[in-house]
Structure 1
Amino acid sequence: MAGRPKIFNEKEAVDRATEVFKDKGYDTASADELLGAMGIGKGSFYLAFKGGKQELYARSIKQFSENFHQKLVDQIAKTDNQIDFIKQLFLGLANGSGCDKERGCYLGNALVQLSDKDEDIKKISAELLRKLQQVFAKAIQKAQEIGQIKSTEDSEILAWHLTNLWNGIHVTKRMESSPKILTSIIELNLKVLD
């Protein structure tokens, strides 16, 4: 017997669970909070997410990652100055306001928290970082071609530098919350784009 058919939208349920994970973190988000936010019962939950909370979290990160990447690609394509857009993206990381939705802090925090503990999260994290690097590399190469930046360094390496900065700033934010200090660190790293 296959059981009762699911009567909820999994994508929407995962989006609602993501909000709980963003607010509480993986470790402190309780099953009751997740189920309440998702609007489903335990039976439906375990039918859809056989791996329980861990599978839900992995799906949350994957779905959020895909949405973040698509939004980033769409936004950068619409701007006249992609290098300035990238700089503003990073400088926005120094200030926590609106961070998760626009700058991917939820993903950065997930990379720091769980990527070394869970193989699925590790794969999702590696894919996210590769995609981020590719977005940066394309923008840098274009900027070099039109003379928008002076650096002749390999665009792929510059893009990995930015990807490392994106990843690293999330680690640093766990120890240092001063927007002034974070801004200084980011500005120093962004000089490669001058």
Structure 2
Amino acid sequence: MAGRPKIFNEQEAIGKATEVFRAKGYDTASADELLAAMGIGKGSFYLAFKGGKEELYVRSIKQFAENFNQKISNAVEDSKDQIELIRQFFLRLADATDCDIERGCYLGNALVQLSEKDDEIKKITAELLKGLQKIFAKAIKKAQENGQIKNQQDPEILAWHLTNLWNGIHVTRRMESSPQMLRSLIEMNLRMLE
């Protein structure tokens, strides 16, 4: 006997669970809330997620990270002005009023809240950051080569600076909610792209 067939789409179910984790946080999201959002029962849940809530959360972060990086990568690749797109990506962080999917704060929050508690989550968030850094580095190198950016520092280092900025803004916005202050910090850091 091969076992019971899955009667739900795992990616869709994980996406629905992600919304609960985004809204409530890992610690306060209850099993009942997750099951209700996913539209599955306990039996199906534990058949698909043998590690329970923790496995679901890890898979949620992985799926979100892959989608987030792919979306940014596609947007940068398709943009006629990749550096301006990156600038706007950061400047929009200042104006976000909540945990917006487009800005990746779900991942930023996971990085801050749980990465030091869980090696698997730390590894996933580190891979996300490396992916983000690679996207930035490629765009910076291209902009340096075509003269759009005068700053000729190593594109890898500049890209890590942007990745660090992304991390830092997610931490800072927990303490400072003023869009004007956040925008000023971001603009000051983005001067390196001139």
The bucket for the TM-score relative to the shorter chain is over 0.9
Letter in 2 for 1:59: R
Counterpart check, 1:42 vs 2:42: yes
**What SS is found at the alignment partner of 2:95?**
coil
Contact 1:92 1:99 in 2 (8 A): no
Report the Cα offset of residue 98 of structure 1. Answer: 7.4
Q: How much does 1:95 deviate?
A: 1.4
Shift of 1:69: 0.7
Structure 1 residue ranges (4+ consecutive) displaced by more than 4 angstroms after TM superposition: none
Q: CA deviation at 1:5?
A: 2.2
Which position in structure 1 is the counterpart of 2:106?
A: 106
- Quick one: distance in 1 between partners of 2:99 and 2:87? 15
> Residue type of the partner of 1:135?
I
Partner letter of residue 67 of structure 1?
N
Query: Does 1:126 find its partner at 2:140?
Result: no
| Equivalent residue number for residue 137 of structure 2 | 137
Alpha-carbon displacement from aligned partner over 1:154-173 (angstroms, at most 9, x marks no partner): 10000000000001111111
| 2:21 aligned partner | 21
Deviation, 1:27, is 1.0
TM norm structure 2: 0.96
Q: Which amino acid aligns with 2:41?
A: G
Pair 1:4–1:32, CA change in 2 (3 A): same
Question: CA RMSD of the aligned region, Å?
Answer: 1.2
CA distance in 2, matches of 1:32, 1:110: 21
**Aligned sequence identity (%):** 72
Residue identity matched to 2:69: H
Partner of 1:188: 188
TM-score, normalised by the number of residues in structure 1: 0.96
Change (3 A) 1:158 1:75: same
Q: Is the 8 A contact 1:16 1:38 kept in 2?
A: yes
1:2 Cα deviation after fit: 5.5
CA distance in structure 2 between the aligned counterparts of 1:24 and 1:178, rounded to whole angstroms: 23
Q: Which amino acid in structure 2 is aligned with residue 54 of structure 1?
A: E
